[in-house]
Amino acid sequence: MAKINDNFIKIPATYLFSEIAKRVENYKAANPQADIIRMGIGDVTRPLPKAAVEALKAAADEQLASATFRGYGPEQGYDFLRETIVKSDYEPLGIKLDTDEVFVSDGAKSDTGNIGDILSRDNIIAVTDPVYPVYVDTNVMAGRGGNLAADGKWSNIQYLPCLPENGFEPQLPKGKIDVVYLCYPNNPTGTTLTKAQLKKWVDYALENDVLILFDAAYKAFITESDVPHSIYEIAGAKECAIEFCSFSKTAGFTGTRCGYTVVPKELKATAENGEKIALNRLWNRRQTTKFNGTAYVIQRAAEAVYSPEGKRQVQESIDYYMNNARIIKNGLETAGYKVFGAVNAPYIWLKTPAGLKSWEFFDYLLTEKNIVGTPGVGFGPSGEGFLRLTAFGSTENTIRAVERLKK
Amino acid sequence: MAKINDNFIKIPATYLFSEIAKRVENYKAANPQADIIRMGIGDVTRPLPKAAVEALKAAADEQLASATFRGYGPEQGYDFLRETIVKSDYEPLGIKLDTDEVFVSDGAKSDTGNIGDILSRDNIIAVTDPVYPVYVDTNVMAGRGGNLAADGKWSNIQYLPCLPENGFEPQLPKGKIDVVYLCYPNNPTGTTLTKAQLKKWVDYALENDVLILFDAAYKAFITESDVPHSIYEIAGAKECAIEFCSFSKTAGFTGTRCGYTVVPKELKATAENGEKIALNRLWNRRQTTKFNGTAYVIQRAAEAVYSPEGKRQVQESIDYYMNNARIIKNGLETAGYKVFGAVNAPYIWLKTPAGLKSWEFFDYLLTEKNIVGTPGVGFGPSGEGFLRLTAFGSTENTIRAVERLKK
């Protein structure tokens, strides 16, 4: 008798973004004239860099002739892209990586979700709170969640609150943990850790044999000099951290799908017999067995993002989004709101006024201002009383939204 | 203390195709003049259909303007492709599917590997033997393997031998199983099941609450009329089977990465409390949580495979490969070899002569004939004494290889 993985039915069926979509749809049905501005889902709106499109098309043309046709590529990604990543994203930071420490994939969501395959079900997982829901849900699916309590927390997962009271700096866990997810610049709060703050975590991980899963998907938005672009800027991090990166938000690849994950060869975790095993080898095994590599044409597009032209085009988009972020932040602060993030990230984390709950404020914004945000509580219990706005819209709409919010 | 998934280190590190590559490399180093013909790895060599390349480039151009730019798409795939699949691959067979029963992905390898996520670790798995190694390895990784015995079998997996003696028809299991992988046309043997033979399996699955994971990646190569193109041609199969399909071998997408998986809404498996749960909902949850969809441009390329021009171009390639298959089969039979497959599949399954072991015959072919095949034993214990040749090379090389083999 075929049996399901029961962990799947433990997860509540209602998904944050589908609930948002439903409420917006209902409102629109009742108010067809409403001019709704969407600042909810974190999807980009600016087109793909021209350099990437040109490379994609050139690669597609190569597929037309037997002599240049590419079939199965390396599951880990082509060397041309892995080498470019090492040279462009790490060497300038003073970080030395081998190309076989870089694994190209179809995006950070897949990799942060699949990484659990190589880890024991018995690990105790810690997440910052609020948090990108994929980290929690994928661990629940793998049997590491325990049970969902009324406070919105899973019994076997440790939550590290990030609130204005602690400057959004997660405190080191008091209890024993094995694995911790850190995402900086942070989704959803838009806040960051300085090098000194991240060093505390690396030191803690090294001392306690904890694995850090570091999500750096938003690193391109960093503007302040003491915020690390990679966890490997911190001494010792190669022995305790995996880093996930993405072309989604930086180069507009949300619909083009490419990212990469760094698993340093020094990084080890423990087998049942106490032996220390290199995670690079395990992840390589996972990827060669369950993945067939990212499309060749997409990898060529990703490579082009690093060309001088590509870099310039990417920077234009980042500047554009960060200008939106500033507009939102300044406008909301002028209007008396308490606002976080928006300096090194395209996310604005907004304290709801007058003690409103996240969904109450969501409904208020939708019905009174025709603005769609994301209720903070959707990202975890510590998100209650907050709302996330994104800077990924057009500047025109951003300005219009801020004007409405100021009223 | 971070702990690894110990199942990963149970799997022997030597991987079939890397061992082949090593032996070929060593031979080439010692014999630099050798003119080696590769008929080992099942990768295509013919270019992508022109219709697919044109669609890919047109979609890339759309990504250059905000008005036509596509960000996050549906994780399950765009409706334009799902609808095309339903209409083109199933309606002509008399099979009615809803679009939300079709999940577009980056290939059948990912899906056959990841499907285990939604199934309990306690399921007993059966595989035909020889078999595509991904089915076995991914189940071992998930803890369903048990231990590897000296005979090459995992203690918790049931092996269903497919040999000349039983006409390569796997016999219904004697013991209790929960899930069975069936791949038809078969990789590696190139053999098929008739509708009547497959019906036995569907009836057995319905009676015993067994889930069939049906891999139809090679369906486009079918030439005989009583061989089903989809398991859903068999009455009742929607209640017991998931079907995996791929554009890799048919449309040359091995490096372009697109496939799809059908999970009918009637299909259920059992929860711990005995409740029957629809697998469509679980797979949807898995894909929305751990996957972000296939690149938009790739889905447009896949859609174009179904255009009249695309279909014609695909058929040309299939005819080309199947002509190679015939050349190999006829040539080898003339030379006195015992040959299977090659009629409805691009694979030729060759009985080694004179009682040679698979690797002995591999070495003989490499050193004496300068031909690279794949040792059958690499696909499982029942593959011992066989060798797989593929029809994916050029006709010129295929003819030269056959001439050498005849000598």
Per DSSP, the residues of A120-144 read: -TTPPEEEEES--HHHHHHHHHTT-
Domain boundary residue, one of A260, A288, A306:
A306
> Stretch B68-84: mean pLDDT, rounded?
97
- Do A297 and A155 fall within a single domain? yes
Contact A321, A346 (CB under 8 A): yes
| Residue A395 placed within a domain | yes
Q: How far is CA A270 from the centre of its chain?
A: 27
User: What CATH code is carried by the domain that includes residue A323?
Assistant: 3.90.1150.10
- Give the pLDDT score at A17: 81
- Per the prediction, chain B carries an average pLDDT of 96
Domain boundary residue, one of B277, B306, B335:
B306
Beta-bridge partners for A276: A270
- Do A398 and A268 fall within a single domain? no
pLDDT at A75 over 70: yes
| Residue A182 placed within a domain | yes
- Give the pLDDT score at B40: 87
Q: What is the pLDDT of residues B146-198, one digit of tens each?
A: 999 999 999 999 999 999 999 999 999 999 999 999 999 999 999 999 999 99
B95 to A89, B279, B302: CA distances (angstroms): 50, 19, 21
Q: How confident is the model at residue B41 (pLDDT cuts 50, 70, 90)?
A: confident
| 3-class SS of residue A280 | helix
Q: How confident is the model at residue A18 (pLDDT cuts 50, 70, 90)?
A: confident
> Which residue of chain A is at minimal alpha-carbon distance from B280?
A4
- Give the pLDDT score at A201: 98
pTM score, two decimals? 0.97
pLDDT at B397 over 70: yes
Q: Collect all residues of chain B within an 8 Å Cβ-Cβ radius of residue A71.
A: 43-45, 252, 254-255
Provide the shortest C-alpha distance from residue A330 to chain B (in Å). Answer: 26
- Do B61 and B30 fall within a single domain? no
- Do A326 and A294 fall within a single domain? no
pLDDT at B17 over 90: no
- Do B83 and B215 fall within a single domain? yes
Say what percent of chain A tops pLDDT 70: 100
Question: Which residues, 6+ apart, have CB-to-CB distance to B337 below 8 Å?
Answer: B350, B351, B353, B405
Locate the DSSP E strands across B187-312.
211-215, 241-246, 259-262, 268-270, 276-278
- Give the pLDDT score at B298: 98
Q: Collect all residues of chain A within an 8 Å Cβ-Cβ radius of residue B110.
A: 290-292
> Stretch B261-271: mean pLDDT, rounded?
98
Question: Which residues, 6+ apart, have CB-to-CB distance to B275 below 8 Å?
Answer: none
- Give the pLDDT score at B405: 92
- ∠ CA B173-B175-B180, nearest 5°, is 50
- Segment holding B310, helix H or strand E: helix B308-334
What sign results for the dihedral spanned by CA atoms A83, A89, A92, A97?
negative
pLDDT at A41 over 80: no
Residue A336 sits in which domain range? Answer: 14-43+309-406
| Residue B328 placed within a domain | yes
- Give the pLDDT score at A12: 84
Determine, for residues A272 and B210 on separate chains, whether the beta-carbon distance falls below 8 Å.
Answer: no
Which of A47, A110, A123 is the closest to B292 by Cβ? A110
Provide the shortest C-alpha distance from residue A53 to chain B (in Å). Answer: 6
| Residue B49 placed within a domain | no
- Do A252 and A367 fall within a single domain? no
Other beta carbons within 10 angstroms of residue B235's beta carbon come to: 11
- Give the pLDDT score at A14: 66
> Stretch A86-111: mean pLDDT, rounded?
98
Between A15-24, A168-177, A248-257, B179-188, the lowest mean confidence (pLDDT) is in A15-24
Q: Which residue has the tokens 């015939």?
A: B326
Q: Collect all residues of chain B within an 8 Å Cβ-Cβ radius of residue A282.
A: 4-5, 8-9
Quote the CA–CA distance of B279 and B293 in Å, as a whole number.
19
| Beta-carbon pairs below 8 A across chains A and B | 265
Hey, what amino acid is at B400?
R
The ipTM value here is: 0.97
User: What CATH code is carried by the domain that includes residue A222?
Assistant: 3.40.640.10
pLDDT at B13 over 90: no
Quote the CA–CA distance of A224 and B333 in Å, as a whole number.
72
| Residue A49 placed within a domain | no
- Do B110 and B251 fall within a single domain? yes
**How, if at all, do strands B259-262 and B241-246 pair?**
antiparallel
- Do A98 and A124 fall within a single domain? yes
Determine, for residues A290 and B5 on separate chains, whether the beta-carbon distance falls below 8 Å.
Answer: no
- Do A115 and A142 fall within a single domain? yes
Q: How confident is the model at residue B14 (pLDDT cuts 50, 70, 90)?
A: low
- Per the prediction, chain A carries an average pLDDT of 96
- Do A154 and A238 fall within a single domain? yes
What does the buried/exposed string (b/e) look like for A160-198 if buried means 16 or more CB atoms within 10 Å of the residue's CB?
bbbbeeeebbbeebeeebbbbbbbbbbbbbbbbbeeebb
Quote the CA–CA distance of A72 and A285 in Å, as a whole number.
17
- Do B74 and B218 fall within a single domain? yes
| Residue B1 placed within a domain | no
- Give the pLDDT score at B16: 82
Quote the CA–CA distance of A100 and A114 in Å, as a whole number.
19
| Residue B7 placed within a domain | no
A333 to A361, B95, B188: CA distances (angstroms): 17, 59, 65
Provide the shortest C-alpha distance from residue B335 to chain A (in Å). Answer: 31
Hey, what amino acid is at B3?
K
Domain boundary residue, one of A306, A340, A367:
A306
- Do B20 and B153 fall within a single domain? no
**How, if at all, do strands A386-390 and A374-375 pair?**
antiparallel
How many domains does chain B contain in total?
A: 2
| Residue A7 placed within a domain | no
> Which residue of chain A is at minimal alpha-carbon distance from B71?
A255
